[in-house]
Structure formats: C-alpha cells, structure tokens
Amino acid sequence: MIKSKYNWDVKLPEVEIAENIATDLKLTPIVKKVLESKGITDETDIRNLLEGVQITHDPWKMSDMDKAVERINVAIDQNQKILVYGDYDADGVTSTTILVSTLKELGAHVGWYIPNRFSEGYGPNELAFKNAYDEGISLIITVDNGIQGHDEIQMVQDLGVDVIVTDHHEIGKTMPNAYAIVHPMHPEFEYPFKYLCGAGVAYKLAQCLLDEPPVHFLGLVAIGTIADLVSLTDENRTLVQNGLAALNKYCPPSIKAILNQAGYNDEINEETVGFIIGPRLNAVGRLEDAALAAELLMTETEDEAMFLAEQVEFFNQERKDIVSQITEEALVMAEEQVQQGSKFLLLAQTDWHEGVLGIVASRIVETYSLPTLILNIDEAQNHAKGSARSIDQVSMFEILSDYSQLITKFGGHHMAAGVTMPIENIQPLQNSLNEWMAQLAETTSLEPRKKVDVTISEGDITIQNIKDIQRLRPFGTDFTSPCFELQDVLVQQVKGIGQEKKHLKLVIGESQLQAIFWQSGHLVKELGVQQPINVIGTLQINEWNGFQSPQFMIEDLASHNLQILDYRSKNKVNDLNADTENVAYLIHQRSEKLGENYHYYGDEIINKYEKYVFRDLPTSINDLKTTLKTVDISQIYLVLNHDRSIYFEGMPKMETFKQCFKALAAKKETNLANEGVQLSKFLNIQPHILKFILKVFLDLEFIQVENGIIKLNNVSTKRDIASSKYYQSRIDRIEVEKLLLYEDFNRLKQWIKDELVE
C-alpha cells in the first residue's frame, strides 16, 4: 500500500453544461468536464474563455489615480527629480522597468532604486529615503511595495518629499500617510478587480500617463503576474494573454537573451515564464543586488542584453546549489519538529542565505503540508530574517499580524510573507504560532487536499484531447491546469531517473503511457510491475525528434490493499489464468469440469486467494453481498460475463400479462410453435419476452404445456404475478445489471467497499 500525500477532492460538478451549448461551442467531452469542474457553465463565460474576450477595467477607477497622475505631471512640468523605488523580485523589477520607461518617454527627470534584500530589506528604507532627499528628489514613487512603509514614508514626507505608493500587497489596519496610494484593494475605492500584481498596477498608472503604452509593456506585466502567483482570472487573464502574445511577436532583447542562455527556443507560454524567465529574474535579487535584473530589462541593445543575461544565468545556477544545500539541512530540522507535534514549522539557523529561504520554505511546505517560516540568524545584527510560505487553510498575513509585537517588520499576503525579527523572539513566536495552529485545528481540518477536476480513462489521453485542453490556457493561480485522476492503471515499467535517481518514471496502462513524478524516486522500491495504482496529475505533450506522445505529469500516487479493476469491457481475464492458485473465479452456474478455485456466488470461500475475479454476473445482489461478507479481498477484477442485458427491456407491464392471458383464454389450445410469432406481434413484444411471460404463467400454474400445446388450468385461488420465482428472478437480474453494468464505476467501487466494511 502506498498512501497518497493529499486527500483527493474528486467532486461531481454542481451544474452541468447544457448539451445544446456544448454542441454549439463544439466542446469535446473532456473539455466540457473540465469546465464543469471549474464551475464555468454559462454560455457567455465559456465563449469569453475560448475566444479570449478582453476583460479590462478603467485605470482611472483605481484609488488616488487622479492625484497620482496630477502630481507626476507637475513634477515633469517643473523638471523635478523623480525616484522610482522598486523591489528585488521579478514583479518588482518588471514594475520598475514599466514605470521608469513610462516617465522617460514623458521626458521626466527620473532615476530608479531597488533596495538590497540583505542590507536594506523589503519595502521603504529610511536611509535610502533620506539619501533621496539629500540628492534633491522631490517625488518618490514606490512600485510593488510601500503599503507597509508607514514610518519611512512619514519621515520623508515631513522632509518635503511627496510619496506615491503603487502596491498590491495586503493592506494592514492602517495605511501610510502618503501623498497618494494607488492600490487595487484600497477600501475607499471600488476598483473592479482586486488582484493585480505590482507590474499590473504600474501598467495601469502608465495607461493614465501615456496615450498608448508600448506593446512590450504587456510582456513585462505578464512576467510579473505569472512570477508573483497572483490570481490568473478576470483582468489578469487578459493582461497575461496579451502579454504572452506580445512576447512571442515583439520579444525584447532582454527576454531573448535570457531564453538563449537557458537554451530555450520554443514558443513563450505561461510555463516558460514560470519556470525559466521568472526564476532567473528572481535569482539575482536573491543572491546579490537586483539592479542587474532591472538593467537587463531596460536595455535596448542585443550585445548588452547578452552580456547581462550571462551574469543572470550565473546567479541562477548558484541559486540552485545553495537551495539544495539549505533544503537538505532544513528537512532534518523540520522532521524533528514534526515528530514533536509541531503544526507550524519555524526553522532558524546561522549562515543560511536569506535570498533563497522562500524557495526552501516552499520545499518544506510541499513535503510536510504545514505553514513554514525559515529564518537566517544574523548575530552581528541581532536579528533574524527570512521568508514564510503557507497552506490554503492558513493566511500567513493574518497569523503573523496576530503576533506583530514579536516581529520588527513583515509584509506579504495569504500564501507568503517576508519577516525580520529579534533573535530572542524566535522561540516565543514559534510557541505562539503553534498555539494559534492548535486552536485552528479544533475547527478546521489541516489535512492537505488536492482538487481533482476530472476522472478519466486511458482512452481519454490523446494528443487531440490534450490540444483541446490547451485551448483553455493560460493556466495559473485560481485557474490551474486541470488535474486528472486515472484509476486502477497497471504499472508496466518503473525506474528512477535524474541525478541520484530522485525522480520517478513510469510506463502505465495498456497504452504504455509515459508518466513522470518529480522528487519521488524513492517509490521505485514500493512499485511493482502489474501493480494497479491510482494517480492524479496533469497532461502534457512530449515531443522527441518530431514525434509527439501524451505524457502524464503525476502530482500524487496511491496504491491501496483493495484494488477494484474494471474489466467489464475488456477481454483480459485470460491474463490471470496462469496464476490459478492465487485467483478465485466467481461464477453463477456450478460445473464439475471447473477447478476448485471456481466458486458460486453466495458460497463461503476460504480466504486463501490474493485476487478475486468476478467472472460472471451474479444472479442476485444478495448472492454478491454474501460473497463480499465471507472473504477478505485485496483485489477484485470485474469481468461480469453475461449472455445479454435485459436492463433496458425492463419488466413487461401488467397490462401485457393480462392481454396475453386473455389471448390464451380466447382459444382452448395454443400451439406455441405455430402461433407464437403471431401472438408476439399481437402483444407487440419480442418472442423472448413472450417466453418469459409463459414461464411466469407456468410457474403460477395458470397454464400447462404438453408437446408444445398450451392449455389454461382452472385456478381456484387468486395468485399475484409478482409472486412467481421467474418474475422475482427478473427483478433481481435487472437490479444486478443496474448496479454492476450501468452504475457509475466510482459509485460501484464505493458500494463494494461499503459492503466489505459492514
């Protein structure tokens, strides 16, 4: 048995897409199911999604936009010095690039500054603001930060420097006393979409300052939006769609150079940004001064772009090595805390590189599914700094806000935060956070969960279906790539791949489907060939030497003691015959010619088998229940052979029984061989239905048959048609077929499991 890491939330859609809508929009079955799972069932919403309908909101509706634009125009008109104060991550450097480029195009006297993560930390810095004042700066515009910089902003405003905050991070209980605050979540304004990233807010400001912002700005917005993991819905979806189109059509020298260094020359999509461009822009600020990344984005020449991109690539490789080392050390500490019952992991140590602690925190959360704060202890500065990552059930901003008295400085949102705090407060904070989590656990399940969009079969995994699913792109936060479940699929090949065999590669199912499970090479020892497993994950198209094939990217895997495999439409039962000692075959008719491992439904079976093949359809549900209650089953193969189905024929109506009896009564004798077809046509039923009715009459002694001649009996007592054993047998057969042949397979499996438990 392999226990799944997550609880899989496989839910049937609350609302289904109407068939006429699905037909009109040419939705394939798999796309229809994906949309239903995501709650997108309205025709207009589906059409907007498939056709890429633009959703844009008036930038002038954002908070203080009028004031901000007016103040910037005054600064430009009076040639005042403007400073764009950015941030050191991908969103921060793209925001900085957008606004600096905008102001330069307007002829502003503008400079830019990105604080050093290690010496200055996140957000407004008092010394940096004082230096700006000393240099004659009249206006500071923050991008992707500032909403938590109360003291620093008040200080520099008191010196006569106006500050315009443009930010998207969580707003605290109070806001800084800035000249203007441009923020999509400002409580006093009604901007229609709350979840822009920093680059998105900067772009909105650029829209109000310029008649028509340059197209390449959209590419920068897409990078900031995807890299910062904000909601990929509503306006963000439009910005990313347009931005990716811009990157592919008008790719600037900086992005070309980054991709060239990464050895990537394919189409730019959200995964390109998320796994190649974003991490490289982030790497610079994680290890050194993020100004290098901003300089790269602002360059307009290919030679300079290539030179700067080489340096960025160096930092990215170094970042990977550092992350690997710290993660290894942090996992040891995390395991100790988990064993002690901790529900919030606070890991702190000296000489951990502060710049990568967010990545390490994410790795710890992936492993233990617990909110995690990782800190570097700087004894010389007498403080600890680091990053936090959370789980869906816990708002990191909320939980840290509750203990802000123990923290010098922090900022962030639901899933992530940056923290600076005194060393002596580490243990008190850890105790407090665990108490907070203990209280939450009393009312909220902390079990890690993974939403599964659709349960599919191997036959659904085709190149065309995957291409149809990709019509829904881009995928991201709040509109994730569809997660599929594949049940009871047999492992054909298994091996570890990559450095130190850390990753798992499987070949599964009849179709020999390639499957990859990152960071799960350890499962090689637990998986055997022909072992049935359940997997969840996403679908991709793998290309090699011009050949395309489907690929399943596993996100979780499970193998349970009880496996129920659907062989009802497959002729694979012969594959089990070789192992007769470990296989029991359940049949509905006794036969002396069959071996001792063939058993009749309802018999008591000695628990000596590993596999149970339900070869035939049982005659009744009760017989099946008896079998399930007398055996200890680990694997069930549902073959369920039968001559023909009667479920859709159903039971003849009572009126048909009456008409048949009257027709027989109208004649003293009926020759079935000569008159049977004529009688069937008269009753408008098939001949085999007539035979069934006559069996019921014979059983109830309504008639007698001699040499094919039917005669009525004189019956003195009234007998109910339904009391016939043949009538009841047909009822049983219909019930059996309904459950075993036509019930949804997931429900059938659950029914079997429930019967085994009782």
CA distances from 751 to 112, 136, 278, 621, 745 (A): 65, 76, 48, 11, 10
Residue 66 dihedral angles phi and psi, to the nearest 5°: -60, -50
Q: Specify whether the CB–CB gap between 82 and 73 falls below 8 A.
A: no
3-class state of residue 261 by DSSP? helix
- The alpha carbon of residue 473 and the mean position of all alpha carbons in its chain are separated, in whole angstroms, by 14
The predicted pLDDT at position 599 comes to: 86
Residues contacting 358, CB < 8 A, separation 6+: 387, 389, 416, 418
Cβ-defined contacts of 330-338 (< 8 Å, 24+): 330/360, 330/363, 330/364, 330/374, 331/363, 331/364, 331/367, 334/364, 334/367, 334/368, 334/372, 338/368, 338/370
Q: How far apart are CA 726 and CA 700, in angstroms?
A: 10
Write down the pLDDT at residue 76: 98
The predicted pLDDT at position 117 comes to: 85
N- to C-terminal Cα separation, the chain? 22
User: For the stretch 247-281, what's the b/e string if a residue is b when 16 or more beta carbons lie within 10 angstroms of its beta carbon?
Assistant: beeeebbbbbbbbbbbeeeeebbbebbbebbbbbb
Nearest CA among 440, 396, 434 for reference residue 415 = 396
Distances (CA, A) of 390 to 257, 320, 713: 34, 22, 81
Instruction: Please give the distance of CA 584 from its chain centroid, rounded to a whole number.
Output: 39
If one counts every other C-beta atom within 10 angstroms of the C-beta of residue 409, the result is 17
d(CA 281, CA 290): 8
What stretches of 262-394 show up as alpha helix (H) in DSSP?
A: 270-272, 278-287, 291-298, 302-339, 357-368
> Could you tell me the pTM of the whole model?
0.71
Please report how many Cα atoms fall inside a 13 Å half-sphere around the Cα of residue 287, on the Cβ side.
Answer: 21
The reported pLDDT for the residue numbered 606 is 64
- Give the CA dihedral 234, 237, 241, 247, nearest 10 degrees: 130
Residues 6+ apart with CB under 8 A from 395: 414
Query: How high is the pLDDT of residue 572?
Result: 47
* Residue owning tokens 């019956």: 715
| Alpha carbon separation from 37 to 12, 460, 518 (Å, rounded) | 7, 16, 26
Q: Mean pLDDT for each 10-residue chunk of the chain (758 residues)?
A: 84 88 92 93 92 94 98 98 97 98 98 92 93 98 96 97 96 94 96 97 98 96 96 96 96 97 95 97 93 97 97 96 96 95 96 94 94 96 93 93 92 85 97 95 90 93 94 93 94 91 94 95 78 93 90 92 69 50 79 76 76 89 88 79 90 94 90 92 94 94 91 85 95 94 87 82
Q: What is the pLDDT of residue 578?
A: 44
**Which amino acid type is present at position 223?**
I
For residue 594, the model assigns a pLDDT of 73
**Whether the Cβ atoms of residue 741 and residue 715 lie closer than 8 Å to each other:** no
Q: Are 189 and 63 in contact (CB under 8 A)?
A: yes
Q: Measure Cα distances from 271 to 223, 262, 267, 474, 593 in Å.
A: 11, 14, 10, 9, 61
Please give the structure tokens belonging to residue 139.
């206006």
Query: What phi and psi, each to the nearest 5 degrees, are found at residue 122?
Result: -80, 140
CA 357 vs CA 343, 360, 423, 583: distances in Å: 19, 5, 17, 53
Q: How far is 304 from 300, CA to CA, in rounded Å?
A: 8
Q: Whats the size of the chain, residue-wise?
A: 758
Q: Could you give the domains of the chain? A: 5-36+449-556 (2.40.50.460), 57-212 (3.90.1640.30), 340-446 (3.10.310.30), 561-642+737-754 (no CATH), 645-722 (1.10.10.10)
The H or E element spanning position 613 is strand 611-616
User: For residue 561, what pLDDT is reported?
Assistant: 54
Neighbours of 292 (CB within 10 A): 21
DSSP bridge partners of 81? 109, 137
- Element (DSSP H or E) covering residue 490: strand 484-497
Rounded CA separation 699/75 (Å): 102
Quote the CA–CA distance of 315 and 309 in Å, as a whole number.
10
CB-based burial, 740-756: b 16+ in 10 Å, e otherwise:
bbeeeeeebbebbbeee
